[in-house]
Chains A and B, each alone.
Chain A
């Protein structure tokens, strides 16, 4: 059992948890993920590690309530326990000096990108961070981002903060001003696909952290298989990062929809149950 040591709401439907898992805290590196399973009936869900505190044995995860499992996780309180929490999984990000790195993040991808940004920054890369969210209130960890980035841009769909539009609108502008050596992208798959298309045209090396459906997360089942350069790779053990220009994005997008109907059934069932609880109290 793994204790939720702290819980903080850092945005609308966005939660930040610190979990007591000393072995993971000790060995985790930027870019790696954990899998959690709330209880005996729950599914195994991957989440990228947002931060670790080795001294205190804490692993931080930040997540948005999007489906049944994340909503259920958010319904837990400080002091509660998660049944299973395994990691660190996946290959760590290869941290090396590229020069100028543009990190493009969408939504809660900010939390996942921060440790990678920090590590890249620490060894002397110049970091330009571009954040894309729907609206201003969904921006998280802005101060941390400011601290770690040499330049920081925001794009919001509704124009409530930064540039009105998409991350690619900002890319268009900075690409001519800056000498860029590498792109790192993490976030919703459609955003990553769009950025990958853009950087491919510019012939600039781009690494994407992929988020396919996973089951065991240890290289056993192939649920998370993605096609990279026409070859099958398992995101859980070969990734989760791959050369964004070699990813078959259409396939990844369609595979993410494999269980859409069933996921909705699961979520509706959970929400109905939650409502009942409210009526009782």
Chain B
């Protein structure tokens, strides 16, 4: 079997100076070669690996016949965000891992093909979502949060005829896709296209509405919503709880990325929001957010970017591709190292990080990471003028604390049952606020919750009809 064809990537030394995408996507010829490699398995395992149940062979078949406008219909049947998924899904651990060609190291590049289908039809997308063909049932559903979980759940419900309104606390929609993921991984105009398709299909998005504060959950029920889906995302960034973590120019990755992605601080002073452009940046963490922060720092002109992670490189939660890209662009990985304190100058601006080397006590088992210990006497200083902490997030407590009977677990995540219903009947939740951590998990939960919401509404309607008589 021939090797797969991946999208060509731009030279690291060129791309690291701009915010353009790493790859401009397949040419038509490349797409055709790759799509025609698909064996069209009778029992396609790739679909099993897809959390959003896309009919993968079918959309690839249309592509191999050079019919992207048909391929995108298949994709959008099950997924409101194909252009997003084609870029940020970890296909290597999902669909592509289950591809029959995986063993020969020649999996079909499903993600690249998905992206092609979405991008090549982005200008004609309006014709796809035939609004008049949707039979509207007039039932109102509120979605809280316009990130991947909310858009997916709302999109699915829209397709099933529901009247969907999304409430967003920020001034723009998209959640983490807008404020978290950098332009070079997911261009904002691609996100805008996806969201506009949903809006044209009837989805209402109310910005600047912080549910819990601007309106309460009770207000929403009073306004006639039959069910509510809470997808407010994570929230509070985690700080390491070591001395100096509040020095100036020590940022959470969320703050740094919000400044850049949502507020366009890289274009200061054309945009008002400032950001400090570090010369010797230290990023702490090993996830995708750490990679995004490091690679963004490179693009802002940092001379050096060191990424410090307490475990080994293999144990980093980041996607392989992100690690590869970061290294190519000049990010230096310092592993088995942990910060113990940040050191400031007289004006309380950070000037160094004191670190300690770590060693592991053995091999990591599946799912359980091995324990680490500090190596005595290994303390050393790394000079820096900017630190970005990418250590994960705690769930935002605002909505749960302001809503009676909305139960949370000990860590603050909303408790949901197998159908993503919270402790309050009719209120469902998904995404990071129930403990998810990736875009694709959020999308998967949004889909499942949409189904559960439909079932719930059917059941309560039946009940109400019965009780009427």
Q: Which residues of A contact B (CB under 8 A)?
A: 23-24, 27, 32, 37, 41-44, 68-69, 83-89, 215-216, 218-223, 225, 227, 232, 234, 237, 250-251, 254-255, 257-259, 262-263, 265-266, 269
Question: Which residues on B sit within 8 Å (CB–CB) of A234?
Answer: 236
The stretch of B11-19, B127-135, B192-200, B270-278 in contact with A is B270-278
Question: Which residues on A sit within 8 Å (CB–CB) of B269?
Answer: 262, 265-266, 269
Q: How far is A27 from B216 in the complex, measured between Cα atoms in Å? A: 9
Q: Which residues of B contact A (CB under 8 A)?
A: 169-171, 179, 207-210, 213-216, 233, 235-237, 239, 241, 245-246, 248-249, 251-252, 254-255, 258-259, 262-264, 268-274, 276, 347-348, 396-398
Contact in complex: B213, A88 (CB < 8 Å): yes
Q: How far is A215 from B251 in the complex, measured between Cα atoms in Å? A: 12
Q: How far is A43 from B270 in the complex, measured between Cα atoms in Å? A: 11
Partner of A225, one of B179, B239, B263, B273: B239
Contact in complex: B273, A86 (CB < 8 Å): no
Question: Which residues on A sit within 8 Å (CB–CB) of B241?
Answer: 232
Q: How far is A219 from B394 in the complex, measured between Cα atoms in Å? A: 10
Contact in complex: A220, B235 (CB < 8 Å): yes
Contact in complex: B273, A43 (CB < 8 Å): yes
Q: How far is the CB of B343 from chain A (nearest CB, A)?
A: 15
Contact in complex: B347, A254 (CB < 8 Å): yes
Q: How far is the CB of B229 from chain A (nearest CB, A)?
A: 19
Partner of A41, one of B233, B237, B239, B270: B270
Q: How far is A44 from B271 in the complex, measured between Cα atoms in Å? A: 11
Question: Which residues on B sit within 8 Å (CB–CB) of A263?
Answer: 274
Q: How far is A266 from B251 in the complex, measured between Cα atoms in Å? A: 21
16 more A-B residue pairs beyond the given contacts A89-B213, A219-B398, A258-B276, with a C-beta to C-beta distance below 8 A: A27-B213, A27-B215, A32-B213, A41-B272, A44-B273, A85-B208, A86-B169, A86-B171, A89-B210, A218-B210, A220-B258, A221-B254, A222-B237, A222-B254, A232-B241, A237-B236
Contact in complex: B268, A218 (CB < 8 Å): no
Q: How far is the CB of B146 from chain A (nearest CB, A)?
A: 13
Contact in complex: A218, B169 (CB < 8 Å): yes
Partner of B274, one of A84, A86, A250, A259: A259
Q: How far is A250 from B300 in the complex, measured between Cα atoms in Å? A: 30
Contact in complex: A23, B215 (CB < 8 Å): yes
Contact in complex: B208, A86 (CB < 8 Å): yes
Best-buried of A250, A251, A262, A263 by chain B (most CB within 10 Å): A262
Question: Which residues on B sit within 8 Å (CB–CB) of A37?
Answer: 171
Contact in complex: B239, A232 (CB < 8 Å): yes
Question: Which residues on A sit within 8 Å (CB–CB) of B239?
Answer: 222, 225, 232
Partner of B214, one of A23, A216, A232, A258: A23
The residue on B at minimum CB distance from A261 is B274
5 inter-chain pairs at a CB distance below 8 angstroms, sorted by A residue, are: A23-B214, A84-B171, A86-B209, A232-B241, A232-B246
Q: How far is A38 from B209 in the complex, measured between Cα atoms in Å? A: 17
Contact in complex: A216, B258 (CB < 8 Å): yes
A218 in contact with B170 given A84-B207, A225-B239 (CB within 8 Å): yes
Question: Which residues on A sit within 8 Å (CB–CB) of B233?
Answer: 220
Contact in complex: A87, B255 (CB < 8 Å): no
Q: How far is A281 from B370 in the complex, measured between Cα atoms in Å? A: 71
Contact in complex: A69, B272 (CB < 8 Å): yes
Contact in complex: B237, A262 (CB < 8 Å): no
Q: How far is A43 from B347 in the complex, measured between Cα atoms in Å? A: 25
Partner of A237, one of B237, B259, B272, B397: B397
